[in-house]
Amino acid sequence: MKRKAVVLLLGGEEGAGFGAAAGAFFQPLLGRPLGAYALEAVCGIDPEAVLVLAGAGPAVRDGWESLIKGVETKTPVFLLAGEGRRAGVFPALVTARAILEKYPDRDILAVPAGLPLLRSQTLKALLRVHASKDCALTFLGGGGEAGLTGILALRSADAFPLLRGISPSRGAAGFEALALRLTKAGKKVGFYEYPDPEDVLAVENGEDFGLAAGLLRGRKNRSLARKGVIFLDPASAWVDWEAEVGPRTVVYPSVVIEGPSRVGADSRIYPHVHIMNSQLGAKVKVLSSTVMEDCVLEDDAQVGPFSRFRPKTRICAGAKVGNFVEMKNTVFGPRSKAQHLSYLGDSQVEEDVNVGAGTITCNYDGVAKYPTHIGAGAFIGSGTELVAPVKVGRGAYVAAGSTITKDVSAGALAVARARQVEKPGWVLERVRQRKKAGRGRKP
């Protein structure tokens, strides 16, 4: 009968891999905490339970609680806060022995949490070898010069009785003592070298962190490419682990897509675009050097280049927003256009509106923010200032260069600018007077 497995995930104060600070587990790596990858991998083998051996302190406890909640799994995950104070796998195993002994005759899998490239298939392979060779203890090797990985499987019924009397401070020597005791007791000790050392790369410093990020980026981009996404330069595109991109979408070089963003099918994301926590529909175009955060772009929308969309902005279907336009907390209606050099903040813009170049919603008076509402089919001339709170009615026209401080009725023309005054010959007369004054001066 196949034994059930219990995982001891080592996320203590020492040892992201084998020595980094506990805070390393919570550092974002391709949009999610570093420790979430190993936790997801161990949950993927469908164990009876996962015990997270964390370090002491409220910050570590809170960090792990948040990290655990962020991983979708049906596996029971228990946090043993304040337990993981000693570095190394053997001391951690001894520390957690009293809890692990509550799971008699189980395969105990010890896994360091600082292995972001670890996959479930690696752990399943270890457990298969462990079971097929009927071992009491099996070490996982990383291949080549990598040596031992810190991952091991042991049979609780065989190993735990023999742990007594071995000091936790012995570290690797403790495993040597345990292996010797098992061998003398007629039990098998095995070693399994996994063929892909990338899976067991331990993150211990900044160099490891960057290497792991690049390898994860490659995995993510290859996964999307298999689903039909077209990367013109996969080596320069960064797509977070939780982000999704639809089939036949073309991603140009130097694109960054962060957080749980979604990009629909048949879209084009041009160079140097930065998308954060945003939802993009199908057949959208995001032209070069556009930045957006917490925004929505509906189907067939086109934005950029050099546009910025701040949180709570929605660009509706078929709308176009162009060069050097900024929006914040704004709904920009279907088929509406704002093609040049404008700012719309706290605004509701209905369908088929044209916003001329240089239009500004003056939404802030130094104390509070106020809304602007532009009705369907309205035309806002270039260089207009809309001093909020203000409403422009359906089909209304606002003349270029106007400063609008009062509501504009539907279908009306609003002109709000100073009357132009012209003085013929003023420049020549002014020059003549200056020359005359200059001749009368003494050196």
- For this structure, is 340 an active site residue? yes
The string of DSSP letters for 21-47 reads BGGGGGSEETTEEHHHHHHHHHHTT--
pLDDT value, residue 321:
98
Residue 244 and residue 259 in contact, taking contact as beta carbons nearer than 8 Å = no
Instruction: Write out the residue limits of the CATH 2.160.10.10 domain(s) in the chain.
Output: 228-414
**What CA–CA distance (Å, rounded) separates 256 from 288?**
12
pLDDT value, residue 251:
98
The torsion angle over the Cα atoms of residues 118, 124, 127 and 132, rounded to 10 degrees, is: -140
Q: Which of 130, 272, 274, 340 is catalytic?
A: 340
**What CA–CA distance (Å, rounded) separates 153 from 122?**
12
Joined together, the tokens standing for residue 287 give 């032209």
Instruction: Write out the residue limits of the CATH 3.90.550.10 domain(s) in the chain.
Output: 5-200
pLDDT value, residue 266:
98
Q: How far is CA 167 from CA 101, 120, 179, 350, in A?
A: 18, 31, 14, 73
Joined together, the tokens standing for residue 20 give 């980094």
Residue 49 and residue 6 in contact, taking contact as beta carbons nearer than 8 Å = yes
**What CA–CA distance (Å, rounded) separates 334 from 329?**
16
pLDDT value, residue 337:
98
Q: How far is CA 235 from CA 210, 255, 256, in A?
A: 14, 10, 12
> Bridge-partner residues for 154, per DSSP?
108, 137
Chain mean position to CA 123: 27
The single-letter code of the amino acid at 239 is: V
Joined together, the tokens standing for residue 351 give 């369908």
pLDDT value, residue 291:
98
Residue 147's contacts (CB-CB under 8 Å, 6 or more residues apart) are 141
* pLDDT tens, position by position, 315-357: 999 999 999 999 999 999 999 999 999 999 999 999 999 999 9
Residue 57 and residue 83 in contact, taking contact as beta carbons nearer than 8 Å = no
Q: Which residues of the chain have pLDDT under 50?
A: 1, 14-20, 443
pLDDT value, residue 315:
98
**What CA–CA distance (Å, rounded) separates 286 from 307?**
9
Rounded to two decimals, what is the model's pTM?
A: 0.88
pLDDT value, residue 18:
39
**CATH topology (fold) of 228-414:** UDP N-Acetylglucosamine Acyltransferase; domain 1 (2.160.10)
Does domain 5-200 fall into CATH 3.30.1360.120? no
User: What kind and span of H or E run contains 334?
Assistant: none
